[in-house]
Structure 1
Amino acid sequence: MARRQPSSQADDQSSQPSSSGCPRQRPGCKRKRSVAFRVEVEGDPAAEAQDPWVVESLSGLKMKLKRQRVSSVLPEHHAVFNRLLEDPIVKKFLAWDKKLEVSDKYLLSMVIAYFSRAGFFSWQYHIIHFFIALYVASDMEEDNQAPKQAIFSFLYGKKHSQRPLFHKLCFQFIRSMGWKTRVTREECEQIQAFDPDLWVWGRDRTLLP
């Protein structure tokens, strides 16, 4: 008795789409990836997740640039700072801040760093720039913002109408620095090392009783 041959209907059924919409595969056959699938993989958002690593690399580069800015603090910036320390109002302010809440050695170091970044000529720096730089430094580093308000009293007395002008000058000063207001502790220590015997570097909070 002759064996019945498989009908062509069975072959047709094996090639019919399944309920999931994908063609049924014969045993031993491998499915070929379509071009559309390869494009989808190449354009997968997961592949673009590596972009933040590039940004992280750029952030590391910025850190190196910030370290290079230490060399931009020239002797003339120290000379400007020393000149402004002799101003009677500055002396009075530093004598008032006995707890060093607004003018410890690190905040004063930041003043010199800001002078170097602002890019003004030496003769352009005046007492207002000293207090602006000190105000911005305190704003960057201190949690307690109340003590820095005393700067207004030493500059303007009871004339509160001058405060908007001061804040406008602060904005212009920060913009002249390219919005780079962060100063590392290492930069501050290098600035202090330029003239370690300067009397203001003795304003150390850790030494207060």
Structure 2
Amino acid sequence: MASGGPSFQREKQRPQPSCSGCPQEVRVVEVIPGPSGPCAEGRALPQSSGRKRKREWPTEEGTEEEPAPGAQDLWAVETLCGLKMKLKRQRVSSVRPEHHQAFTRLLEDPVIKRFLAWDTNLRLSDKYLLSMVVAYFSRVGLFPWQYQRMHFFLALYLALDIEEDYEDPKEDILSFLFGKNNCSLRPLFHKLRFQFFCAMGWRARVTRQECEEIQAFDPELWVWGRDRTLLSENTEPKECQL
């Protein structure tokens, strides 16, 4: 790769800190003695699984999303009574404060600020798509100071690729960066996108729960107010180039 371009070299994984605000699951385990020794039988709250449609998440009671890729589960004994013990599961997010800081720093980039102002109808950069950018930063594994402007657009393009059913928003990102009539740099962008996706371990799915946990880390951050459902009317973005 050319010198000075985005780097996708992973940093060493470090232990994940606990997250006191993460959802918990309670499991009751009953130890049943047998002829060859005790064995454990787990009884857990039922979980529903199913394929989610793009940009839609279930809201019915009794449904629970699958754990986000990269998240870890910690189990601890809550109570112990005779042959029964109650276990408590706490989900630990893979997104660390450094990833939030890298994202917040990039929001001050003049090109990114102009892009967000240009996307008036939030088709390309609503709060959930931007939350996915933070999640992707945590999965690529770069040091926080290594993230550059191009990483932001690569992550956002990939988020649109995963969540949106039509091609126009992704094309708008390329038009913003390179202009509608300049196609010479687009192959390089797609090459970098492939490397970015590969560095993530091909894990592009982000649940709504993880998006909301990312937003809850700093709920006052101005980009979390970019909710397209609150728009009274949609307006087409104006032409703007890098």
Return the match for 1:193 from 208, 216, 220: 216
* 1:205 Cα deviation from its structure 2 partner: 1.0
| TM-score for the superposition, normalised by structure 2 | 0.58
Q: Which residue of 2 aligns with 1:79?
A: 101
Structure 1 residue runs of 4 or more that deviate by more than 4 Å after TM superposition: none
Q: Which residue of 2 aligns with 1:159?
A: 182
- Secondary structure, aligned partner of 1:98: coil
AA matched with 1:163 = R
Q: Which residue of 2 aligns with 1:66?
A: 69
- What is the rounded CA distance, in whole Å, between the counterparts of 2:120 and 2:129 in structure 1? 14
CA distance 1:65–1:184, shift in 2 (3 Å) = closer
* 1:65 Cα deviation from its structure 2 partner: 6.5
Q: Which residue of 2 aligns with 1:173?
A: 196
Percent identity, aligned pairs only, is: 66
* 1:202 Cα deviation from its structure 2 partner: 0.4
Check conservation: 2:68, 2:206, Cα contact below 8 A.
no
Matched, 1:108 2:111: no
Q: How do 1:4-15 and structure 2 match up within 5 A?
A: none
- What is the rounded CA distance, in whole Å, between the counterparts of 2:94 and 2:67 in structure 1? 14
Matched, 1:137 2:140: no
- What is the rounded CA distance, in whole Å, between the counterparts of 2:129 and 2:106 in structure 1? 15
- What is the rounded CA distance, in whole Å, between the counterparts of 1:66 and 1:97 in structure 2? 29
- Secondary structure, aligned partner of 1:165: helix
Q: Which residue of 2 aligns with 1:45?
A: none
- What is the rounded CA distance, in whole Å, between the counterparts of 2:202 and 2:218 in structure 1? 27
* 1:80 Cα deviation from its structure 2 partner: 0.6
- What is the rounded CA distance, in whole Å, between the counterparts of 2:70 and 2:187 in structure 1? 34
Q: Deviations over 1:74-114 (max 9, x none)?
A: 11101110111111111111111111101000000000000
Bigger helix fraction:
1
- What is the rounded CA distance, in whole Å, between the counterparts of 1:113 and 1:192 in structure 2? 11
Q: Deviations over 1:107-137 (max 9, x none)?
A: 0000000000000111211000000000000
* 1:66 Cα deviation from its structure 2 partner: 2.4
Check conservation: 1:89, 1:154, Cα contact below 8 A.
no
CA distance 1:78–1:160, shift in 2 (3 Å) = same
Check conservation: 1:106, 1:188, Cα contact below 8 A.
yes
Equivalent pairs, count: 148
* 1:159 Cα deviation from its structure 2 partner: 2.5
Q: How do 1:90-129 and structure 2 match up within 5 A?
A: 90-129=112-151
| TM-score for the superposition, normalised by structure 1 | 0.67
Structure 2 stretches lacking a partner, 5+ long: 1-48, 50-65, 73-91, 233-242
Q: How do 1:15-26 and structure 2 match up within 5 A?
A: none
- Secondary structure, aligned partner of 2:123: coil
What is the aligned-residue RMSD (CA, Å)? 1.7
